[in-house]
Amino acid sequence: MNPSSGARELMRTGAKIGCDLEESVAEPLALYLEVLVKYNRRMNLVGPANWRSIFETLVVDSIHLASFLQELALPVSPLTLDLGAGAGLPGIPLRMLWNAGEYWMVEVRQKRVSFMRTALGQLELERTNVFEGRAEEVLEHLADGGEPVLADLILSRAFMPWYKLLDYVPSMLTDSGRVIILSNDMPPHSGAFPDRWSLESFKAYPAAGGERYFWSVVPSV
């Protein structure tokens, strides 16, 4: 689909599932989906094969995530790490709606890194970057031999199980930072979190005929 006709179709499709899109967002999103569908045929980047299924099952997360992040007390210009970014979901559509601070999509798989860089090369997304390597290496890269750099926000869709993630990221996060977990499940009761963590908030949203959740988890005071 070409971006103009695709944008109109996206706006109609989004409206049917409660995701209203401005034309300024629908245009680049249509282009991203066009590129993703094209590369997906030979690279198997995501499960759904057509743009509508990708939108309704995957991009919907990005749309709801943008509004969730806007509700949080984040720094004006946060440093965000999107761990295990894959094909750029949720990050690339998210940055069309929420573009605060520096955003780094971190991925070790070279083919997916190559795809994300190709997609970003056709889009105008400010301060949106791809890092090829392990999650802990991106902060060393950003420091570039200078003062240590820590993230204000870490996002994870399926990078690793949430309880392993919370053990993995403390040294990467500022004292006032947050971890946002995208999950198919409600967060567990507060006692299930490691002692150093607590649940700040969570949000349920409709996706693919069911409910999904965002959890905002913060270091305990």
Over residues 11-33, the pLDDT tens digits come to 999 999 999 999 999 999 999 99
Are 77 and 54 spatial neighbours (Cβ–Cβ below 8 Å)?
no
d(CA 12, CA 181): 29
Query: What local confidence, expressed as pLDDT, does residue 144 receive?
Result: 86
Rounded to the nearest 5°, which phi and psi values hold at 20?
Answer: -70, 130
End-to-end CA distance of the chain: 50
Question: Using one digit for the tens of pLDDT, what is the confidence trace for 56-103?
Answer: 999 999 999 999 999 999 999 999 999 999 999 999 999 999 999 999
Query: What local confidence, expressed as pLDDT, does residue 110 receive?
Result: 96
Radius of gyration over every alpha carbon of the chain, rounded to an integer in angstroms: 17
- What value does the mean pLDDT of the chain take? 94
Place of tokens 């150093």: 196
DSSP the chain: --HHHHHHHHHHHHHHTT----HHHHHHHHHHHHHHHHHHHHH--SS--SHHHHIIIIIHHHHHHHHHHHTS---SS-EEEEET-TTTTTHHHHHHH---SEEEEEE--HHHHHHHHHHHHTS--TTEEEEES-HHHHHHHHHTTSS---EEEEEESSSS-HHHHHHHSGGGEEEEEEEEEEESSPPPPGGGS-TTEEEEEEEEEEETTEEEEEEEEEE--
Query: What local confidence, expressed as pLDDT, does residue 28 receive?
Result: 96
Are 147 and 136 spatial neighbours (Cβ–Cβ below 8 Å)?
no
190 confidence band (pLDDT: 50, 70, 90): confident
Query: How many other CB atoms are found less than 10 A from the CB of residue 66?
Result: 18
d(CA 88, CA 109): 12
pLDDT over 90 (residue 3): no
- pTM of the model as a whole: 0.95
Token pair of 59, please?
Answer: 């991009």
- For residue 127, which of 99, 154, 89, 90 has the smallest C-alpha distance? 99
Q: Domains in the chain, start-ordered, CATH in brackets?
A: 58-219 (3.40.50.150)
In order of 84, 107, 154, 156, 194, the CA distances from 168 in angstroms are 13, 16, 11, 12, 12
d(CA 166, CA 218): 10
Question: Using one digit for the tens of pLDDT, what is the confidence trace for 95-148?
Answer: 999 999 999 999 999 999 999 999 999 998 999 999 999 988 999 999 988 889
Query: What local confidence, expressed as pLDDT, does residue 195 receive?
Result: 87
